[in-house]
Structure 1
Amino acid sequence: MSYKTIDLFSGAGGLHIGFENAGFDIKLCIDNDNLVEQTHKRNFPNIPIINRDIREITVDEIKQYIGNGTLDVVIGGPPCQGFSTIGKRVSSDPEKRAKHDSRNDLVLVYANLIKDFRPKFIVMENVKGILTLKNGEYLKNVMKQLEDAGYDAKYKLINMADYGVPEIRERVIIIGNRVGLPVSFPEPDHSDNPDDDLPGWNNCWDAIKDLELLGDKPAINHVALKHTAKNIARYKLIPEGGRLPEDDLPPELYRRNFGNTYKRLSRTRPALTMVPGNDAFPIHPTLHRSLTVREAARIQTFPDSIIFEGNRRQQGHQVGNAVPPMFSEKLANFILSEIQKAKDSGLYECD
């Protein structure tokens, strides 16, 4: 039996790829981005998408895609740049601050839509920064909204490296249900602690090393940035697994601020978090350049069959904002096991 699911704020599809692989029936994706729509239609032509501000989409419009009966699961990762831990949370510019506040409000839009559709299970992904936004009051409000809608819901900070993703990526996962089942989370299947009796974290090198052999041969989404000679000289000073030695730079290579883009990955460790930035991912473990979009997508566990539309920066944003499909599939299989548990207990009514 397949279970009806919709993906709110679907982005490049990292979350619903995993759920579809686990057997869920993705009825609809919603986002508000023309390039995301192009990427979606290229890769998921059989899944309808609405490309519009979700606050302008009516419940009746969404119901046209769902058909009769209750939704089994609603999944989604509301935009979270407004309170990402990268960069300043609050701008002194009123217009920018309003835009950030609007992004944050989309998390509450997700929570409010749950009241309208009353799916049996809910899954939300968000950045670590939501834990401390407004001293924790924001997340408390989100959880209260879900509770008022009749859900038992909990949140957990999860490092996706603990689930086999070759990337240190901490994200907040919210799981809830209204069938009366105690809320729990999938158990990690990897660990960086040798005492845990689990396989160690996967390294990023195994995911990308074959792409190094392509050299300058063209491949989709695998185009290296043309770095300046000054940046290449800086990259040559960065040791594997380390960062630029800012205190010991020749004067001609000095600049005021150096960010995460001046860190080199290690072949023996998971990658740093893939985040969307100004065209730049971390530095390749062995080459004097930043990662390509395809290398970042490999680290995010996207299959090569997924093609990202737009220019390089736009492609990078889609990859960096996504949930790694490897993790989402494990999460989806866990939700499947929870549904089966509820059915075995007589708590799950099928429509």
Structure 2
Amino acid sequence: MNRELPVISLFSGAGGLDCAVERCSEPALTHDDSGSPLRVAVATDHDETALRTLALNFPHTKTLCGDIQTTPTEEILEAGGLERGDATLLIGGPPCTPFSKSGFWIEEKRNSADPNASLLDEYVRVVRESKPEAFILENVQGLTYKTHKEQFDRLIAGLKEAGYNPSYKVLLAAEYGVPQLRRRVFVVGRRDGKPFQFPLSTHSGESERDRVIDRSKIPFVGLKSAFRDLPEEPVELSDIVEGTYADLAAEVPPGQNYLWHTERYDGRDVFKWRSRYWTFLLRAEPDRPSTTLQAQPGPWVGPFHWENVQNAKGESRARRFTVSEMKRIMTFPDDFSFAGGRREVQRQIGNAVPVELGKVVVRSLMEQMGHLEPDGCGSERPSNEQLSFI
């Protein structure tokens, strides 16, 4: 079997999907890339820090730093040593800012007028001009909202006109063994026109929307289980929640948020009911998956760790997740390296695709295309041992 099936990566960021590609043939929660036939030949992004992260972890990958809107497809192919039609797979997630709920207070986003949304057209352009055997596009589920119907319909139409038969579905990461309640839409298409069958979910549990649990599936992976063998490390001073709401944050129990400090709960009666965003002073629960890690959270935006720490004055304080814990939440390998300072690392992690979720989708596609033999890790259900931290 060809061990070097080339992949083009657009909007690569820190490489969550790239990591999934190069580890797609390994069992869940295993990070040995020796068995994957796929290799990222070329990766593009406008973020120099993210590309430094890629270089640390994918030294064989050629990188292009620049605006995709002014980067010709021919330049991308040349950098990867490819001709039109050579790539087995094209992957990427155009920046999700235009479609994310976290910025709906911006009028241009509510009206679907964010100019960055045009980056979807650039993705289609590179697919059309590079003609990969298949593609995977991922984004926030907000891309599928009615607010963005015109752009989403244009995306699907453009991919069809390019000669593909795209399928799409919103997947909840926790339903595939990721300790995070993160929803992403995946759009997948094949050059031969055969429809892609999305992999079956393997895990079940309570989410922010669902209370019905499928007992035939593996329980959601909780954070305590995900962190169980992490070595102890000192908490950075910058990870301790200080300032105006420090005392209030420390008093919020696991699984609660600022609503604890309203007249309806047992905390201090400080805030009005539903006067803040849900993530304000939000504390994680040890036995449940994390809520979505955000790329650029404000000082009071959680989820924060469920345990408090003491600051230099001996005061009890909430704390943010460490980088090692965030990597576990996103199912990055423990030895995955990030360039930049603490804030830049969080931005890269928060913008990434959970590696295990990406692996499941890539693996399933490679099986259906005949590049990998089915072994129970793609559209077939893996064993409890493979997909559970427990």
TM range (shorter): 0.7 to 0.9
Distance 1:223 1:33 in 2: 27
Corresponding position of 2:347 = 317
Distance 2:342 2:284 in 1: 20
Distance 1:195 1:82 in 2: 34
Distance 1:212 1:254 in 2: 38
The change in CA–CA distance for 1:315 and 1:49 in structure 2 (over 3 A counts) is same
C-alpha contact (below 8 Å) 1:7/1:74 kept by paired residues: yes
CA deviation after TM superposition for structure 1 residue 141, in Å = 0.9
Is residue 2:207 matched to residue 1:201?
A: no
2:183 to 166, 170, 173: 170
Corresponding position of 1:137 = 150
What is the SS of the residue equivalent to 1:124? strand
Is residue 2:24 matched to residue 1:12?
A: no
Corresponding position of 2:195 = 182
Is residue 2:298 matched to residue 1:278?
A: yes
Corresponding position of 1:232 = 246
Moved more, 42-51 or 6-15: 42-51
1:247 to 258, 262, 286: 262
Paired AA for residue 257 in structure 2? R
What is the SS of the residue equivalent to 2:102? coil
Corresponding position of 1:158 = 171
Task: Give unmatched runs, 5+ long, in structure 2.
Answer: 25-35, 206-211, 309-317, 374-390
Q: 1:186-232: per-residue Cα shift (whole Å, max 9, x none)?
A: 1111122543511111112222355583244xxxxx77524325433
CA deviation after TM superposition for structure 1 residue 182, in Å = 2.3
C-alpha contact (below 8 Å) 2:11/2:95 kept by paired residues: yes
2:279 to 237, 250, 260: 260
C-alpha contact (below 8 Å) 1:224/1:292 kept by paired residues: no
1:67 to 70, 79, 82: 82
Paired AA for residue 21 in structure 2? F
Distance 1:144 1:305 in 2: 40
Corresponding position of 1:347 = none
Distance 2:201 2:117 in 1: 29
Distance 1:28 1:7 in 2: 6
What is the SS of the residue equivalent to 2:64? strand
Q: 1:102-141: per-residue Cα shift (whole Å, max 9, x none)?
A: 3211112101211101111110000111112535221111
CA deviation after TM superposition for structure 1 residue 70, in Å = 2.0
Is residue 2:46 matched to residue 1:32?
A: yes
Paired AA for residue 247 in structure 1? T
Paired AA for residue 122 in structure 1? F
C-alpha contact (below 8 Å) 2:111/2:147 kept by paired residues: no
Q: 1:131-182: per-residue Cα shift (whole Å, max 9, x none)?
A: 1253522111100001111110011011011100000011111011121322
What is the SS of the residue equivalent to 1:313? helix
Distance 2:97 2:146 in 1: 12
Corresponding position of 1:103 = 116
Distance 1:72 1:215 in 2: 44
Distance 1:235 1:44 in 2: 39
Distance 2:306 2:229 in 1: 13
Distance 2:77 2:324 in 1: 36
Distance 2:356 2:203 in 1: 13
Q: How many residues align?
A: 334
TM-score normalised by L of structure 1? 0.87
CA deviation after TM superposition for structure 1 residue 34, in Å = 1.4
TM-score normalised by L of structure 2? 0.78
Distance 1:258 1:158 in 2: 23
C-alpha contact (below 8 Å) 1:181/1:342 kept by paired residues: no
C-alpha contact (below 8 Å) 1:223/1:293 kept by paired residues: no
Distance 1:170 1:278 in 2: 21
Paired AA for residue 261 in structure 2? E
Q: Percent identity?
A: 28
Moved more, 10-19 or 55-64: 55-64
What is the SS of the residue equivalent to 2:150? helix
Paired AA for residue 15 in structure 2? G
Task: Give unmatched runs, 5+ long, in structure 1.
Answer: 217-221, 344-351
Which structure shows the higher helix fraction? 1
Paired AA for residue 42 in structure 2? L
The change in CA–CA distance for 1:151 and 1:227 in structure 2 (over 3 A counts) is same
What is the SS of the residue equivalent to 1:241? coil
